[in-house]
Chain A
Amino acid sequence: GNSVTQMEGPVTLSEEAFLTINCTYTATGYPSLFWYVQYPGEGLQLLLKATKADDKGSNKGFEATYRKETTSFHLEKGSVQVSDSAVYFCALNTGGFKTIFGAGTRLFVKA
């Protein structure tokens, strides 16, 4: 079946460090891929998405590229801030009503 695997956290970085959170997926067909972010005490919110191979999603300095050959959608940011501390979820949808989420990766950014 369809699944999403994310790197385990927590990830702890200093401010202005480079961030990578790995995400790989297994899916039949051609899924759309998403990154959602959950700030403390809040619900998830969409950070970025990509709908086909080689698409790059970007938002708020975060980027992720849909790599079909490696079935990956790694999240990157060049310079993290304390305000980026949150839980990040990789997700996919193949066209139905069920969006498949990874387990989430908690990011701590120290000043």
Chain B
Amino acid sequence: NAGVTQTPKFRILKIGQSMTLQCAQDMNHNYMYWYRQDPGMGLKLIYYSVGAGITDKGEVPNGYNVSRSTTEDFPLRLELAAPSQTSVYFCASTLRGPLDSPLHFGNGTRLTVT
């Protein structure tokens, strides 16, 4: 029972490089989310999706893009990496909205941009 799987676990990028953080869930959850966790701060919502083909911005979407072509996958794209994007990124999913269903998190991707 894998739950939410994120890859890679760690990555170091140079300024201006691009990369895709992968996220997959096998629970048939409709809702998926990307959060970032900065030291001493709570998690901030970057983007979310309520189903395949539907995505929307969260609190801090600038510098990121997402797509949701299948129910299982929700990749997060960084086009021009900046030091401000150094963070730990968590993907999560819920069966229904987060008021009614607990968030299921992956183990995170630690990204450093230098």
> Given B31, B99, B107, which contacts A32 in the complex, CB threshold below 8 Å?
B99
List the B residue with the shortest CB-CB distance to A101: B42
Report yes or no: A43 in contact with B107, Cβ–Cβ below 8 A.
yes
Report yes or no: B103 in contact with A99, Cβ–Cβ below 8 A.
yes
Once the chains are docked, how many angstroms separate the CA of A41 from the CA of B50? 28
Report yes or no: B105 in contact with A45, Cβ–Cβ below 8 A.
yes
**What DSSP secondary structure best describes chain A's contact surface?**
strand
Min CB–CB distance B57 → chain A (angstroms):
10
Report yes or no: A41 in contact with B107, Cβ–Cβ below 8 A.
yes
Report yes or no: B43 in contact with A97, Cβ–Cβ below 8 A.
no
Report yes or no: A98 in contact with B45, Cβ–Cβ below 8 A.
yes
Task: Tell me if B51 counts as interface (CB < 8 A to partner A).
Answer: no
Min CB–CB distance B61 → chain A (angstroms):
12
List of 9 A-B pairs having minimum Cβ-Cβ separation, nearest first? A43-B105, A101-B42, A46-B102, A101-B43, A44-B105, A93-B99, A99-B98, A43-B107, A97-B48
> Given B40, B41, B99, B108, which contacts A43 in the complex, CB threshold below 8 Å?
B108
